[in-house]
Structure formats: structure tokens, C-alpha cells
Amino acid sequence: MTAFMHDVARAALPVAIGLLTCAAAAAAVLWSRFDDAQAQRLARQYLEPLSTWCLVALATHTLALGAAGEASVLSLVLPLALGAAAVLLRTAAESGPRPAPAEPAKRRAAAPPPRPARPPADAPPAATQAAHPTAPLWAEPADDESATRSGLWSRA
């Protein structure tokens, strides 16, 4: 079991470093105010999950070190430093200035947006309540309901 946990600890650390590197790249895009709106949106969208999964990988590494019996003060320094960096990246990006929403370059000065079509005046009003709200769902339909059924399972 300890050999397995040793392998888990060895595998989790590179994953955590890779996730932290991707989170740092996303934070760099946000801090540099890159002109590409899609890059800004993607960086803002993925920074939090990247840093969260980095912390999960670091916790896995640390727990696997403990389970393998290899935990020492020196072996815990790197995961703690990487975890602090992940938390700092996340909080620094959240506290940074948010860009103003982009204004459309061209405004349409023509007609206002089309209104939704209204039903004809002679159309029956839409039902807002069930016909028999107190009856259970499995109750037999009333005689007047069977005549108005239409659809896949109707007998019409």
C-alpha cells in the first residue's frame, strides 16, 4: 500500500505544478488587460477552477505522502508554497478591477426591435390553472376532458 501511495504522491505533484502554471497564465491575461475579449473571458472563467484543482492535487500529494510514510517538514514545504501561490492567484484576480462591459461598435438607429407576435383575438385564452387541481394525477378524467384531448396518446 505504501508503494502505491508513493506513486500517487509522485504523480500528483507534476499535475499540481501544471495546473498552477495554467492558473498563472490565466491571471497574467487578466492582469495585463489583453485586448482580446475572448481571452479575457476565458481567463476569468477558468482561473478559479484551475486554482481549485491545483489545491486538490496538492492535497492529494500531501495526503499520499503521509499515507506512504514519507511526510517530513522538508517534503511539505513545496506543496504549502504552491498552495499559497494558488490561493494568492485566485484572490488577486478576484480583487482586481473588472473591465467595463463592451459597448457595441455600431448601434442600430433604424427601427426598434420587433415585438413578439400576439395571438389572434378569437383565440382561446391560455389556461393558467389545472382543470381539477385537487384531483390526484391518476384520477379518471371527467367526461368533458376526454373530448378535448389531442396528442400522441389521445384516442382521437
Q: What is the pLDDT of residues 26-50, one digit of tens each?
A: 999 888 887 888 888 888 899 999 9
Integer Cα distance of 122 and 124 in angstroms: 6
The neighbour count for residue 26, using CB atoms within 10 Å, is 24
Integer Cα distance of 146 and 24 in angstroms: 65
- pLDDT class of 150 with cuts at 50, 70, 90: low
For cell 508554497, the residue is 81
pTM of the model: 0.58
Find out whether 9 and 65 touch, Cβ atoms under 8 Å: yes
Q: What is the pLDDT of residue 36?
A: 84
Q: What stretches of the chain show up as alpha helix (H) in DSSP?
A: 2-32, 37-68, 73-95, 143-148
Residue among 81, 91, 70, 79 nearest 14 (CA): 79
- Residue 130 clears pLDDT 90, i.e. is over it: no
Mean pLDDT of 123-129: 58
- pLDDT class of 136 with cuts at 50, 70, 90: low
Mean pLDDT of 116-134: 61
- Residue 115 clears pLDDT 80, i.e. is over it: no
Instruction: Provide the residue type at 133 as one letter.
Output: P
